[in-house]
A = this chain, B = another copy of it.
């Protein structure tokens, strides 16, 4: 447990040169010339001693900590957060930054959020990432602006900070299009009752796709309930009990889709033979656990984390003097993850399947 205490001066002594030379060589300082021989000598000495720079000292001197603070709301409640962290961490690491994490409460008061930002600022982080647990508009703690910042999964009311959000609308369009392509015409939408951008965006996407296929939007085909399995069950039951029941269901999220599976089961509707289902969120626990596997749309959490760090670093390092970046939220696309819950309508006979495909 002997604390590593080999410093630049030890390396210098071992290599028989000055600390300056060591610093120059180890940092590849531009314009600093050193003979190849010296370079090797220094590098070898450093390696032999197991030297690693003291980043605090470096930071103190250079006024750059190479740390990025991630302020994340309720890190634990969703598996999604993990992906954001992963995307952010891997990208940060690639650029030799380190991620420090602070968990903040979604419902924390302004004072406590302020303290969270202060804690990060005291650590001299070079920039701050602010991640919310689902897509929405937020107002930011004031001191956040003392340092470059980027928002993840939310938009900034003031429009000053770059942000990235998922393409809810496009994702929904993709999902419904997959159903359309399989030959479905009557597609129900099991949606939710929350007033959040995802709700509106996904409905829009549903309409886009359906109307794009020349089908008139039928409000009777959308049923809204709470965004849980129970809500999905209720909504699906409602939709599927209609006389002219839809042959496919697009569900607001995988949890609701889980409820829809149960409804289908009770009604004796086989998936995907008599009913196709597509979800949203790609919660693998659900999507892979359901039988048959649920075709769904993935949220780009990893990508958002990665994009945010990249953008933040650009801001920090000032490559882009023009910080026009904040103008518009950067929308990242939501790809379809195909599993086994989509088939042509009336797929009970193999022949029917072919027919529908060439419809």
Binding site for B on A (CB under 8 A): 1-4, 52-57, 59-60, 63, 65, 67, 75-79, 81-83, 85-86, 89-90, 93, 98-103, 118-119, 121-124, 145-148, 228-230, 233, 255, 258-259, 262, 265, 283, 285-286, 288-291, 302
Contacts and interface: CB of A to CB of B under 8 A. Distances in A.
A100 B102 contact: no
A98 B53 CA distance: 20
Oligomer copy total: 2
A228 B293 CA distance: 12
A1 B102 contact: no
Contacts of A258: 289-290
Contacts of A124: 54-56
Most buried by B among A57, A59, A103, A286: A103
Contacts of A302: 76
A147 B56 contact: no
Contacts of A2: 146
A67 to B, nearest CB: 7
A142 B76 CA distance: 30
A1 B75 contact: no
A100 B288 CA distance: 32
Contacts of A86: 75-76, 103
A78 B85 CA distance: 12
Given A76-B86, A285-B285, 16 more contacts: A1-B145, A3-B146, A3-B147, A53-B122, A76-B302, A78-B79, A78-B82, A79-B79, A89-B101, A93-B103, A98-B123, A99-B101, A229-B290, A233-B291, A285-B286, A286-B289
Contacts of A85: 75-76, 85, 101, 103
Contacts of A67: 100, 123
A285 B255 CA distance: 7
Contacts of A82: 75-79, 81-82
Contacts of A147: 1, 3
A289 to B, nearest CB: 4
Contacts of A288: 228-229
Nearest to A57: B60
A255 B283 CA distance: 13
Given A265-B265, A291-B230, A1 B146 contact: yes
A255 B258 CA distance: 13
A89 B65 contact: no
B75 A89 contact: yes
10 contacts: A3-B147, A60-B60, A75-B85, A76-B83, A82-B82, A85-B103, A90-B103, A93-B102, A228-B289, A255-B289
Nearest to A2: B146
A283 B258 CA distance: 14
Nearest to A255: B289
A108 to B, nearest CB: 12
